[in-house]
Amino acid sequence: MKFVNPQFLWAFLLLAIPIIVHLFHFKRYKTIYFSSIQFLKAVSEESKSTQKLKHWLILLSRLLAFSALILAFAQPYIPSSEEQLKGRQTAMVFYLDNSFSMSAKGASGNLLQQGKEVIRNFAEKAPLSTNFMLVTNELNSSELRLITKNELLDRLDEIDFSPVSVDLGNPLQSISNYMQQKGIEGTVQKIVLSDFQTNSASLNDWEADSTVLYYPIQLQSQLEGNLYIDSVWFETPIRKINRPNRLMVRVVNTYTENLQNIPVELKVGSFNRKSIIDIPAQASTVTSFTYTDNKVGTIEGKVEVSDEHLFFDDVFYFAYDIKENCTVLIVEEPILKPYHNAPQRVYQTDDFYKINKISIQQLTLEDTRNADYIVLNGLLSISSGIQSLLEEFVNNGGGLLIIPDEKIEIAEYNALFQRLEMPRIGGFSENTLRITQLNYEDDFFEGVFEKRDKGISLSLINALFKSDFSAANAIKLLALENQDAIFARHGGEKNVFVFYAGTASNFGTISSHAIFSALLLRSAELSSSNNVIFANLGTSKPYAIELPSNQEGAIRLKQEDFSIIPPAMRKGKKMYISLDETELLKMLHAGFYNLEWKEEHLGVIALNYNRKESKTGSLDSKEIETAFKESGAKFVQSIAFDDTSPVEQLSLEKPNEYWRILLILALVFLIIEMLLTKLWKQQNIKKF
């Protein structure tokens, strides 16, 4: 058995007081005058033993009453583990969720502030010998250690909101691992303070300790719901100078009521415009803004809404580059045929494309580095050296379009396709069929067609090269009625596009159809654009930056006087920045940062907070308790702390605790003492 407040046991010394009182009371003598000594002797003999028993019973009841009262204040309890407790530590472990959802309004400040007050309250009530641990979403090594009460209170003052969002099981498992590693086997209480959002309350990766006491405390906000900007994107993949841009904005309403006349504001440079929208309850609405960029360079913009509940997700930042042109390098055979001019005619329709033509025999590394997009137009063979140049070009973010001729070296083409993870080709197949399948669902065709025609029937194909998609990472975009591919793209991040029918008349009439021009222009747009107009802090997906050369150097993020080198991994001419490192997240916030490499300005990155915490909706007390028990916890007491729950009334129960029973016993013994004093005296009077 252990005691919460063992200092109260010193009060047992006060039991000497009723003992001394009773002893003096026994020695008191009272003179009684009787007319007959014989009668006095009879009365004395009759009541002597009874009075003695009465006094001892009264003394015993008083001692038991005081003892029970003292023990009740000392709060004895038996720990959940029946093992020997000698040499074991008592620990109170806190996990405080400091994600952005904890910035919601509570009764007295935000939920994070209320959680801090709850921890302070428990720390003040804890026994002097208690060790503490305080863990947040950051989960750094400095948090996973036992600390004193003063260290705990100092640590509370340092905790602020973090863009890190973790599943609940992650910090709990880290705590369990530390406890097992250090061999801490004493009485352990784990107090979890969170709003228990549905999307982050997963305990799947956590195995509870059956001997630990768990207290999930749900901090409840005054409002249920949120209004936030979920994402922004452009209708077309490329932005051009003096061409209209259409920016799409998705706004989400998680409140249980419809919202009307909500202002959404866009700021791009000097351009400023507002849009008024209505959003149904627990739904989203997409609105759009149309504007024109009139200068070349980096463009910064932001979209904003106003919400009274959560604020971190009210602004969404984005940035992109306006290029003066896109350099298209057309690689051809030395001897050209009339149909080889088809790609050039397509790109000449838009002055955005700067066309360079070169013979395959003259192609160099410098040519590929100066190009945004390369077209292999009717090449008969592709040497291993050229294959290496093209592979490096693609891996560095360049776009590649391959249009075969009639008589090609299939082995050399397949060697290149293997490097690029595209479908290998087989023999030349002659069969007149129509193009009837167009993959509208793929992002490649987004915004290309005004409507989708399910009964599409395009130009005739007289011949093609058979393709094998079984061992490739590719997606069919255009196919014949017999499923043979005519046009395909890489299924991952590489900008590689392949025609399996060329522009020669033997292949058919595809080069004279409008779909041919649409495919060439679209593939060039996707290759020359940077579709990533923002990045999210706290997500595992890295942000890719193309470097101007292969020289070594580190990327820097700069904002006014602030500068930091983020963790990054280099692959060729691309640098992949990691945005989920805890130490990095502590120093970055949403906004615009300049990208610099070797004192050279590469552009601007727009950082936004992860919208995972924006999606409101929480578990109830029963669901929380069930989740803990399903993970193996035996001793769980869920507490809901809302706007009507004062911090001072929160307390942690002990397993097998007896203070309530002891208070009842103290009252019972006092009643017995009163009955002995009153009723016994009345019975003696009646006898006389």
pLDDT one-digit tens code per residue, 78-116: 654 444 334 445 789 999 999 999 998 887 788 999 999
pLDDT one-digit tens code per residue, 363-379: 998 999 889 899 999 99
| Confidence category of residue 331, pLDDT binned at 50, 70, 90 | very high
Do β-strands 259-268 and 271-279 pair in parallel, antiparallel, or remain unpaired?
antiparallel
Residue with tokens 């194909």: 461
pLDDT one-digit tens code per residue, 5-63: 677 777 778 778 777 777 666 555 556 555 555 555 555 555 666 667 777 777 788 78
Rounded to two decimals, the pTM is 0.75
Whether 473 and 492 have beta carbons less than 8 Å apart is answered as yes
- Looking at residue 88, its pLDDT comes to 46
- Range name among 441-450, 497-506, 562-571 with the lowest pLDDT average: 441-450
- Per-residue pLDDT for 655 more than 70? no
| Confidence category of residue 450, pLDDT binned at 50, 70, 90 | low
Which is more confident, 523 or 55? 523
Question: Mean per-residue pLDDT for 629-647?
Answer: 75
For residues 336 and 334, what is the distance between their CA atoms, to the nearest angstrom?
6
- Measured CA distances, 452 to 241, 438, 445, 486, 642 (Å): 29, 9, 10, 19, 52
- Range name among 236-240, 476-480, 600-604 with the lowest pLDDT average: 236-240
- Looking at residue 86, its pLDDT comes to 41
Question: Mean per-residue pLDDT for 466-470?
Answer: 90
Which is more confident, 619 or 71? 619
| Residue 499 backbone phi and psi in degrees, to 5 | -95, 140
- Looking at residue 318, its pLDDT comes to 96
Residue with tokens 């915004």: 447
Most confident of 197-201, 333-337, 438-442, 588-592: 588-592
CATH number for the domain whose boundaries are 225-317: 2.60.40.10
Structure tokens at 572: 């060729």
- Looking at residue 653, its pLDDT comes to 55
For residues 283 and 374, what is the distance between their CA atoms, to the nearest angstrom?
43
Q: Which residues pair with 213 in a beta bridge?
A: 189, 635
Q: Which residues pair with 95 in a beta bridge?
A: 135, 192
For residues 307 and 317, what is the distance between their CA atoms, to the nearest angstrom?
17
For residues 245 and 266, what is the distance between their CA atoms, to the nearest angstrom?
13
| pLDDT above 90 coverage of the chain, percent | 37
- Looking at residue 63, its pLDDT comes to 82
The DSSP symbol for 147 reads B
The amino acid occupying position 342 is A
Whether 206 and 628 have beta carbons less than 8 Å apart is answered as no
For residues 303 and 65, what is the distance between their CA atoms, to the nearest angstrom?
70
Question: What value does the mean pLDDT of the chain take?
Answer: 84
- Looking at residue 84, its pLDDT comes to 38
pLDDT one-digit tens code per residue, 262-278: 999 999 988 999 999 99
Structure tokens at 620: 């109830």
Nearest Cα residue to 652 out of 36, 31, 75, 57: 75
- Per-residue pLDDT for 340 more than 90? no
The end-to-end CA distance of the chain, in Å, is: 51
- Per-residue pLDDT for 178 more than 90? no
Nearest Cα residue to 401 out of 468, 451, 326: 326
Structure tokens at 213: 């006491």
- Looking at residue 87, its pLDDT comes to 41
For residues 417 and 471, what is the distance between their CA atoms, to the nearest angstrom?
11
For residues 466 and 645, what is the distance between their CA atoms, to the nearest angstrom?
72
For residues 269 and 273, what is the distance between their CA atoms, to the nearest angstrom?
11
Residues sharing a CB contact under 8 Å with residue 678, sequence separation 6 or more, in sequence order: none
Nearest Cα residue to 570 out of 594, 532, 590, 597: 597
| pLDDT above 70 coverage of the chain, percent | 86
| Confidence category of residue 685, pLDDT binned at 50, 70, 90 | very low
Which is more confident, 311 or 54? 311
Considering the domain delimited by 91-222+626-655, tell me its CATH architecture.
3-Layer(aba) Sandwich (3.40)
Whether 136 and 98 have beta carbons less than 8 Å apart is answered as yes
For residues 166 and 183, what is the distance between their CA atoms, to the nearest angstrom?
26
| Confidence category of residue 136, pLDDT binned at 50, 70, 90 | very high
pLDDT one-digit tens code per residue, 381-420: 999 999 999 998 998 888 999 999 988 999 999 999 999 9
CATH number for the domain whose boundaries are 326-528: 3.40.50.880
- Looking at residue 646, its pLDDT comes to 57
Residue 338 class from Cβ within 10 Å (0-12 exposed, 13-18 middle, 19+ buried)? exposed
Q: Which secondary-structure segment (H or E) carries 605?
A: strand 600-609
Whether 105 and 221 have beta carbons less than 8 Å apart is answered as yes
CB-facing half-sphere around the CA of 267: CA atoms within 13 A: 7
Structure tokens at 73: 């204040």
Most confident of 443-447, 598-602, 678-682: 598-602
- Per-residue pLDDT for 185 more than 70? no
Nearest Cα residue to 557 out of 507, 505, 592: 592
CA dihedral of 331, 335, 341, 342, whole degrees rounded to 10: -70
The DSSP symbol for 30 reads -
For residues 329 and 198, what is the distance between their CA atoms, to the nearest angstrom?
52
Whether 62 and 102 have beta carbons less than 8 Å apart is answered as no
- Range name among 214-228, 303-317, 572-586 with the lowest pLDDT average: 572-586
Question: Mean per-residue pLDDT for 464-470?
Answer: 90
- Measured CA distances, 282 to 285, 481, 512 (Å): 10, 43, 49
Most confident of 148-152, 332-336, 479-483: 148-152
